[in-house]
Chain A
Amino acid sequence: MVDAFLTAAGENACGTHGPHPGDAAADLAVQLATRYADGHAVVLTDEPTIVDLDLEARLRAAGAAPLRPTDRDWRAALPNAGAAITGCVLAVAATGHVVVAAGPGTPRAASLAPPAHICLVHAERVVPTIGDALAVLDAGDLPSALIWVGGPSRTSDLEMRPTIGVHGPRTVDLIVISA
């Protein structure tokens, strides 16, 4: 199912990586983020995936500047950030989407404003279909916003031909962490 997910995501113009063990996945995320950010800040969320793998320390060790949602200047610094590393609550094999949830420490704009989005996906969170994802999400306990992300921002408004990178990220990299 992880293979199917990565194949679908690849068709959506995502960079696809893994499955890798946690450490290797985190190192790859840092390596990609540092390259994309090119000296600009790297946005992090406070999700367990990001905290447990200690991406903040890894970024600092790599010479990058992490920006956390609890930092006082988060909102002001966001427009100049060069990349973001987030986790996700679910991933859908049939369509190649990851589902990110808004909440304290996981702002909506984190995966949106920076030009590069790197998303860490736990292999056990990949479900087969949209219907499976909706069932897992539990209608009784929905967060204030769920954002399904299928790939880099795109439009077909220019003579119906796809163009990448309109408002949101120009690149989306998905790194699967092996179970």
Chain B
Amino acid sequence: MAHGLATPGRTFRDRAARALDDSGLQRALRNLDVRLGTAAEVERDMRPVKDRAASIRRETLADLDGWLERLEAALTARGVTVHRCATPAAARAVVASIAREVGAHVVVKSKSMATEEIDLAEALEAVGFDAVETDLGEYVVQVAGERPSHIITPVIHKTLDQIAAVLSEEAEESLPVDRGALTDWVRTHLRERFLEAGLGVTGANFAVAETGTLVIVTNEGNGRFCTALPRVHVAVVPVEKVIPRFADLATLLPVLTRSATGQRLSNYVSMISGPRRAGEQDGPEELHVVLLDHGRRRLIGTPYEAMLACIRCGACLNVCPVYRRVGGHAYDSVYPGPMGEVLTPLLSAGLSGRDLPAASTLCGACTEACPVEIPLADLIARLRADLRSPDPVEADARRPHARRSGFGAWALVWSSPRGYRASTIVTRLLGAGVAPARAVRWRRRLLGVGGWTATRDVPVPARRRFRDQWSTRS
């Protein structure tokens, strides 16, 4: 998952530094404030519903394989073809072969993080299909040759001027910097694609095990087109999207859309139970579901299991003080922000996103914003330790590596009163004789790590230790 197209740089730190210097990006990111107000409101209104949502997600994960079997049986009974895919490569191959069978040149896509995760559009383009993103933001990002920078609002990193420039180039005419005019142009342009497409590709926000129903929420209506007009529909569904019962949607739908966009319910909700039936005038004749694992099921039973409760609402991105300053591209991952810091190294078994858990202040805003109670900050902290092993998930099984680090040594010393006392003596000796004027240089020399002291103050140790002052108090 190497997606450094927009903000090159080898480490998160490089990319973040670049993002902070990008004045256009900084201007665009200010629009995130809209969602910050929403987050506070959601927190106030939704607490009881959130508890129910979290408990439904926990119930699902407690027997994920069981619910998946039920889902597969229900889908199959409805005439849906289910493809279980362990890897992104397998999923890409399945969709490409369906596209070849359909024989349609144009493939219309609705916004889906799962298809981003497996690089599906690129893979289809590479074998000769015209894979068109149809979500307005996602379309702008595709035309610009970039990657989405937010899981809900993919083009949050661009200002309206910049979006107008991208679309004008595609239109080969100068489009006005006006929301209505730009939207109209995209509408007209993409309508033709919907009408000629032979294959529609979507994700799914939920997949109901009880009824074999795929649930897709959108605001624009592109998801509706992708599932109404093309002869074949493929939904790429990561395994954790399964939910037990149809009635659970009463809890999960409002929680998802309130946390994602602040709406009571998204503008459109499609509940798809199988392909077109006899006598119907539209809808796909064939419906395929690609059930994607990609390193998810092996998280069950590990301390990272809770991450699979994620419903991709983006609330943790909107409140994260790091994301809000650097934007999504600095993470160089399909999934940015706090949820991406956890998910990226886990899904790739430590092959990518290794420095992402460091991109956090551990302030806990993400944990608080999460509508399904994922302890994001705790998972980020745990990953920092587990990523000293090549595969963080395996690391957890073998645990006792903490001692090897400086923090481990520190913990050991401070575990006994004698060790603690010794450390205070050493510190006092180190600080002795430093004049306040030279304190800054002292800090740099003492720690020898500019990264830590560049933005933090290290006080010069007091001449007398607190315990000495205490024992001689009057």
Interface size class of A (residues with CB under 8 A): 35 or more
**Bound CA–CA A166/B186 (angstroms):** 7
Residues of A within 8 A of B267 (CB): 12, 149-154
B386 to chain A, nearest CB (A): 36
Report yes or no: B281 in contact with A107, Cβ–Cβ below 8 A: yes
Residue A143 interfacial (CB < 8 Å): yes
B409 to chain A, nearest CB (A): 47
Residues of A within 8 A of B137 (CB): 155, 157
Report yes or no: B247 in contact with A144, Cβ–Cβ below 8 A: no
Given A139-B246, A161-B179, are A154 and B283 neighbors across the interface (CB < 8 Å)? no
Report yes or no: A139 in contact with B247, Cβ–Cβ below 8 A: yes
Interface size class of B (residues with CB under 8 A): 35 or more
Report yes or no: A74 in contact with B156, Cβ–Cβ below 8 A: no
A60-83 vs B, Cβ < 8 Å mask (1 yes, 0 no): 000000000110001100010000
Given A144-B276, A145-B273, A148-B265, are A107 and B282 neighbors across the interface (CB < 8 Å)? yes
Given A112-B225, A153-B267, A158-B160, are A143 and B281 neighbors across the interface (CB < 8 Å)? no
Residue B227 interfacial (CB < 8 Å): yes
Contacting B at CB under 8 A, from A20-76, are 69-70, 74-75
**Bound CA–CA A12/B265 (angstroms):** 10
Report yes or no: A160 in contact with B224, Cβ–Cβ below 8 A: no
Residue A1 interfacial (CB < 8 Å): no
Residues of B at the A interface (CB closer than 8 Å) are 28, 31-32, 34-35, 134-137, 140, 153-156, 159-160, 163, 179-180, 182-184, 186-187, 190-191, 194-195, 210-211, 213, 219-222, 224-225, 227-229, 245-247, 249-250, 253-254, 261, 263-283
Provide 24 A-B residue pairs closer than 8 Å at the C-beta atoms, listed in order of the A residue.
A103-B277, A105-B279, A105-B281, A107-B228, A112-B228, A134-B246, A134-B250, A139-B246, A144-B283, A145-B271, A147-B224, A150-B263, A150-B265, A150-B268, A153-B221, A155-B136, A156-B261, A157-B140, A158-B179, A158-B183, A159-B160, A165-B183, A166-B183, A166-B187
Residues of A at the B interface (CB closer than 8 Å) are 8, 12, 69-70, 74-75, 79, 92, 94-97, 102-105, 107-109, 112, 129-131, 134-135, 137, 139, 142-161, 163, 165-169
